[in-house]
Chain A
Amino acid sequence: MNYFNDVATLARKDLLLELRARDTLPAMLLFVVAALVVFHFALPAEAGDLAGLGLLWVAIIFTALLGLSRAWVAEREQGVLDGLVLSPADRSAIWVGKAISSLAFLVLAEAIALPAFWIFFTGLDAATIAGVLLADIGLCSVGAFVAAMSTATRARELLLPVLFLPLAIPLVVGGVGSSVVDDPARYLAFLGLYDCLFATICWASFEYVVTE
């Protein structure tokens, strides 16, 4: 049970910081709505709803990327990460806590973005929303992991998109599939498989990212 307490404490710390400083979530919200407006002008009238659904996934990926690039900033600037590594908590709990707080930010941003998409473009079915939630888990677990990797480098935030986008391609396939195909079960199952596989490998190898 100790492990879950550690995770909850770490995630609560991030949420509390965000509640007080309010620097990540408002930026994500503004970005995603602005991106949807840009997409409206990027699509010719004949492009249709399917193209809009595809672009929704572009908006989700880049919004997640925006949030993730800020995910470890407090840890790095204040030297918190060394303290966390020295604490008796399991190292993987640091990653789980960060993935959960990133997930919370992304889901909150989508709570605005999906209704906005509905108003601006076209309606969303249950499969799309299930696809978004499943993809969010994958985006945040892999994203929090590679963001920690990029924090350890000289290039910092510059490296995050380069590391993250090739890993996110399968999520885009699963997500777009679940929103545009008549029988989305296969795509949802694929997203679930991705989440399980990558969450396991991130969980098992996070220790090596924060220690020497």
Chain B
Amino acid sequence: MLPPLAVVLFATAISLIFFWVPEDAEDPAQRIFYFHVPIALTAYSCFGWGAWKALRVLGKRDERADVESYVAIHQGTIFGALTLVTGSLWARATWGHWWLWSSRQLVLFLVLFLFYCAYFMLRFSVEPGPRRANLSAVYALFGVVLTPVSFLAIRLAEDFIHPTVFTRDGPQMTASMFTTFCVSLAAMLSLFATFYSIELAGKRIDARIRELREALS
């Protein structure tokens, strides 16, 4: 059910972005906004979902939640990397630089990307078992606290590092822009849900095969 939904939503979003929404006269590259921002919001949702599952690991001792939390954060890191790539492309097309420290969201995603990459290093240097589940879950919960604190820190840092020169808070979104944005966001979220269920099914089959092998030997 999910993969066809994602395909339909994506086709709709792309046709809306290229054929329906009015072009920004000053900034034709602005169309990437309809991909960049939904990808960023999807990454946040992945991290949030991963932290929620982590809470279940710690609170309810739910063993399935450990894999679910890992898969959500794995997807979140991929969407986070895509946010950095699309943001960088947008910055290059509009302002002529590949990287801008004055773009808050981009800097925040860099910090989060580093933080969640360390999650994988932590997870893969512990033997599978309850200890690994605990450590990963605690680290995933740290991410939820770190995100708003880092956002605040980046805002505060602007006062002494760079005054904000460029902002993306342009004119208010028109109805057509908002509709396109919502369709795009739904497409990204359904893409995440698709990847999430596929990867989760893979992980579960993997674990089941390992159990069967152990039972056989």
Contacts and interface: CB of A to CB of B under 8 A. Distances in A.
Contacts of B118: 159, 162-163, 166
Interface stretch (A61-69, A127-135, A168-176): A168-176
A162 B124 CA distance: 14
A208 B58 contact: yes
Contact of B145 (A159, A173, A198): A198
A15 to B, nearest CB: 27
Given A149-B122, A176-B160, A208-B58, 14 more contacts: A153-B135, A159-B122, A163-B118, A163-B121, A169-B150, A173-B156, A176-B157, A190-B152, A198-B145, A198-B149, A201-B145, A209-B134, A211-B134, A212-B129
A166 B115 contact: yes
A14 B138 CA distance: 25
Interface string B131-170: 1001101110110011001101110110110000000000
A155 B125 contact: yes
Contact of A209 (B125, B138, B153): B138
Given A152-B126, A163-B122, A170-B150, A190 B156 contact: yes
Given A169-B111, A173-B154, A177-B159, A197 B122 contact: no
Contacts of A154: 125-126
A211 B134 CA distance: 8
7 contacts: A149-B138, A149-B139, A154-B125, A176-B160, A186-B156, A190-B152, A198-B149
Nearest to B134: A208
Interface in A172-192: 173-174, 176-177, 180-181, 186-187, 190
Contacts of A203: none
B148 to A, nearest CB: 9
B145 A180 contact: no
Contact of A212 (B134, B149, B160): B134
Residue from B58, B149, B154, B159 with most neighbouring chain A CB atoms (10 Å) = B149
A5 B141 CA distance: 30
A205 B126 CA distance: 18
Interface in B63-77: none
Contacts of A181: 159-160
A174 B156 contact: yes
Main secondary structure of the interface of A (DSSP, over half): helix
A149 B150 contact: no
Interface string B107-133: 000011011001001100110011100
A165 interface: yes
A81 interface: no
Contacts of B58: 205, 208
Contact of A208 (B121, B126, B137, B153): B137
B202 to A, nearest CB: 25
Given A163-B122, A166-B114, A173-B157, A197 B149 contact: yes
Interface string A23-62: 0000000000000000000000000000000000000000
A140 B153 CA distance: 19
A197 B153 CA distance: 14
Contacts of B141: 201, 205
Contacts of B121: 155, 159, 162-163
Contacts of A155: 121, 125
Interface string B97-115: 0000000000000011011
A212 B131 contact: yes
Contacts of B115: 166-167
A153 B160 contact: no
B134 A170 contact: no
Contacts of B137: 208
